[in-house]
Structure 1
Amino acid sequence: MLKKFIIAAAFTVVAGFSASAQDATATGGIKPTTGEITGEVQLSITGGSTISLNQLRGRYFLSPTTAFRASFALDAYSDTNDDENRTSTLVVLAPGIEKHFAGTERLSPYVGAELRLSKFFVDYDSDNLEVKGGWPNNFNGNVNERNYFGVGLGVVAGADYYFAKHVYLGVEFGYGLNYLTYGDVEVNPANGNDYTIDSDRSTLRLGSSVNGGLRLGFVF
């Protein structure tokens, strides 16, 4: 439940404030500076009550206000029902750059841009049918899920709050353009001739995106 997630985040912040009191006399600042690297995980609610990890991100700070970034996400799914097996894997890689502003001693707001590359793999097999690159639609003999390659370009805005030295929580949202091109689907029935559903579809979308959940990060 969302309530559990909020309580967990609040506990983390309180614990961080306690730790930061000891950091007050330490040398160095709370935020990252030139040459430092951050690593973070994005935490989100799944199934209404479970906290899951759905993205990894690293940043290299060229200066206290400029950083290269690269995000990676991997989402794998498998469902077996009697003799049917459906699998899918989504891989996303997004390099980019960020510009950070002064903010406050602990708050670091930023804007940035990123290139988003994605690849979606999907397969199906049963005793009677094998499909490479899609999931069959039992009602019309076509597919209702299909493999694709995506390219996107967008702008992002967010903020990191350093509740302890070199430890932060963050949020982010973005807006951009995303182009998907769908691949061929090979259909191999056990009783019948093999055939291919040719790639004849692409989509273009312009819109906003919100990276749900909190980002928890550390400076190395």
Structure 2
Amino acid sequence: MKKLFLASAIALFATVSAQEYKPAAGDVTVDLGVSGGLGNTSIGLADGGAAFKVRYFKTDKLAYRFTMVLANNSDTDNSVTNVVSKDNDFALGLGFGAEKHFTGTDRLSPYVGGDIMIGYASQSSKSTFTPTSGTAVVSEVKGPNTFGAGVRGVFGADYYFAKRVFLGVEAGLSLMYSSEGDTTTSLTGSPDVTVKGGSNFNISPSVVTGIRIGYAF
């Protein structure tokens, strides 16, 4: 009887010890990408953006996930006399999916999962030359804008280095369809020139957010 009681106490302590660090059913985790790639490069997400993920743990081993990558860059160059150049890039990627977590250790939580993904990216550039006399000359390129959709399988792990606080890493393989819009070039005094876009389908590896840091609520 004493042995049975001791075994039950040890099992209970191990469960409590594990849950002290890792999330359980009903918990929500939020994490941010702190280095590495952003989103899925197959849908043309730009560098220099922000990536985050939210998960809801339906059970201790099953979590639903939402991911978002956002990049918005705008640069102005005045280094050339009488010329102002501006570049604008925007990208948004969204993912919806689930994760299956394995036992791991008290602090390590490995998992596999999958996402349904959509993404949009746009770009434009404009250069204005203003002579000391006469009319300004403006050249501008708009596009191509890109839309992507597909699925991605992922594998990763979270390590809880403190209570409810973790570092994570994730990678995967994606199947993506992307559609590229037209590119229009305009120049003062000349007719616009438009190049038609196209579409493609590819399979590619992807780093989701490189290293992430997160917290379990």
TM over 0.5: yes
Matched residue SS, 1:29: helix
Across the aligned residues of Structure 1 and Structure 2, the Cα RMSD in angstroms comes to 2.3
1:130 is displaced (CA, Å) by 2.3
Q: Give the CA deviation at 1:132.
A: 2.2
Q: Which amino acid aligns with 1:215?
A: R
Q: Which residue number in structure 2 is paired with residue 147 of structure 1?
A: 145
CA distance in 2: counterparts of 1:149 and 1:193, whole angstroms: 27
Aligned amino acid, residue 70 of structure 2: L
**C-alpha offsets along residues 164-183 of structure 1, whole Å, 9 cap, x if unaligned?**
22111111110121221101
Seen in structure 2, the aligned counterparts of structure 1 residues 191 and 57 have a Cα distance that, compared at 3 Å, is same
Quote how far apart the aligned CAs of 1:86 are: 1.2
Q: Give the secondary structure class of the aligned counterpart of 1:104.
A: coil
How many Å separate the matches in 1 of 2:116 and 2:186? 36
Closer/same/farther in 2, CA of residues 45 and 99 from structure 1, 3 Å limit: closer
- Counterpart residue identity of residue 78, structure 1: S
- 1:1-21 alpha-carbon deviations (Å, 9 max, x no partner): xxxxxxxxxxxxxxxxxxxxx
Percent of aligned positions that are identical = 37
* Match status 1:71 vs 2:77: no
Distance across 2 between alignment mates of 1:177 and 1:74:
21
Contact 1:71 1:94 in 2 (8 A): yes
TM-score normalised according to structure 1 size: 0.74
Question: Aligned partners of 1:152, 1:173: CA distance in 2, in Å?
Answer: 16
| Cα distance, 1:45–1:100 mapped onto 2, change above 3 Å | closer
DSSP-derived class of the 1:32 partner: coil
Shift >6 Å, 4+ stretches:
none
Q: Which amino acid aligns with 2:211?
A: L
Q: Which of 189, 204, 209 in structure 1 is aligned with 2:201?
A: 204
The question of whether the paired residues in 1 share the 8 Å contact of 2:49 and 2:71 is answered with no
Distance 1:58 1:212 in 2: 13
Q: For residues 18-41 of structure 1, give each alpha carbon's deviation from its aligned partner in whole angstroms, at most 9, with x where no partner exists.
A: xxxxxxx99963211111110001
User: Where do 5+ consecutive residues of structure 1 fail to align?
Assistant: 1-24, 47-51, 134-145
Alpha carbons 1:158, 1:172 under 8 Å: kept? yes
Q: Are 2:39 and 1:29 aligned? A: no
Q: Structure 1 residue 80: deviation in Å?
A: 2.1
Q: Give the Cα–Cα distance (whole angstroms) in 2 for the partners of residues 167 and 130 of structure 1.
A: 47
How many residue pairs end up in the alignment? 178
TM-score normalised per structure 2: 0.74
Give the conservation status (yes or no) of the 8 Å contact 1:85–1:125.
yes
User: In structure 1, what is the equivalent of residue 87 of structure 2?
Assistant: 86
Select the residue among 138, 141, 145 that pairs with 1:131. 141
Change (3 A) 1:113 1:165: same
Match of 2:134 in 1: none
- Whole-angstrom CA distance in 1 between matches of 2:49 and 2:32: 7
Aligned AA for 1:72? M
| Relative contact order, higher structure (CA 8 A, sep 6+) | 2
Q: Give the Å deviation of 1:197.
A: 2.4
CA shift for structure 1 position 190 = 1.3
Could you tell me whether the CA contact under 8 Å between 1:41 and 1:53 is conserved in 2?
Answer: no
- The CA distance in 2 between the partners of 1:29 and 1:74, in whole Å, is 33
Give ranges in structure 2 of 5+ residues lacking alignment: 1-15, 38-47, 79-83, 129-137
Q: Is 2:22 the counterpart of 1:40?
A: no
